[in-house]
Structure 1
């Protein structure tokens, strides 16, 4: 696995391509462009292709928040999400890190728990019948 780096404008096409492969559309392109431009995106590349990325901000009650982690289907179960989380912990602007995932996303729940996050609550009504579980870690 290649190392985690901060994305730059040259990486946007690869990030958007990967995002589109996973969610089936390019609806987050402008958001990704903004986040990358602000230096709030970490990536892992393999053979010049973006294989995984993490987006973050500090808009969650002034705490660090991992808003999105995407790993390509071919790179899953290889430690990419853990590598991104670990790298983010080293640069996080706050000691408190939060993130979330749907109740139906048991794989991501396992990733958070493996990386020392604990459940901190949930939010109903974002996705019908699929509550969002909030995770927390103090670094």
Structure 2
């Protein structure tokens, strides 16, 4: 397993395309403007095992998006959280092999104690477990997603 952590501007087009394809495979994000949002991220994380099998990002959320997430969840103190953890995805064929944990370890190490938040589906028990394991706490209440018929939960790590 090889972990690669890069700024988007340091990625070549093939890496950005691979990252975008895995985000798209996850099926839970708005596809319009996705490449631009990826290029605006702070860091992209790739886990390679012969090929790219897992991805994640430390995102620089725009102020409007962050305000909506915190408002919808009823959570406070959005200003405490500079970064968002997102686009965490392990390809279906690679699940159950510790790649999710490896992503989170890389991301938490890269953040060096900086506060961050993340959202996940209310029914995604694997992500809830990972967030809890890495010191995140649920804040606010579940809220309806704009990208599908499901609810999201907001997590934060001070």
Q: Which residue of 1 aligns with 2:58?
A: 56
Q: Which residue of 2 aligns with 1:77?
A: 96
Answer yes or no: is the 8 Å Cα contact 2:23–2:87 preserved in 1: no
Cα distance, 1:41 vs structure 2: 1.5
Q: Which residue of 2 aligns with 1:2?
A: 2
Matched, 1:92 2:111: yes
Cα distance, 1:20 vs structure 2: 3.5
CA distance in 1, matches of 2:55, 2:107: 11
TM-score, normalised to structure 2's length? Answer: 0.69
2:43 to 40, 44, 56: 40
2:128 to 101, 109, 115: 109
Structure 1 counterpart SS, 2:26: helix
2:20 to 11, 16, 19: 16
Structure 2 counterpart SS, 1:124: strand
Structure 1 or 2: more strand by fraction: 1
Could you tell me which runs of 5 or more consecutive residues in structure 2 were left unpaired when the two chains were aligned: 67-78
Q: CA-to-partner distance for each residue in 1:94-134, whole Å, 9 max, x for gaps?
A: 62121111112122111211222111123423257633111
Compute the RMSD of aligned alpha carbons. Answer: 2.9
Answer yes or no: is the 8 Å Cα contact 2:90–2:99 preserved in 1: yes
Answer yes or no: is the 8 Å Cα contact 2:42–2:59 preserved in 1: no
Cα distance, 1:21 vs structure 2: 3.4
Higher relative contact order (CA 8 A, sep 6+): 2
After TM superposition, where is structure 1 displaced by more than 4 Å over at least 4 residues in a row?
Answer: none
Residues paired across the two proteins, number = 136
Q: CA-to-partner distance for each residue in 1:26-85, whole Å, 9 max, x for gaps?
A: 9637423542465531111121x2111112223343522112201111111222122222
Could you tell me which runs of 5 or more consecutive residues in structure 1 were left unpaired when the two chains were aligned: none
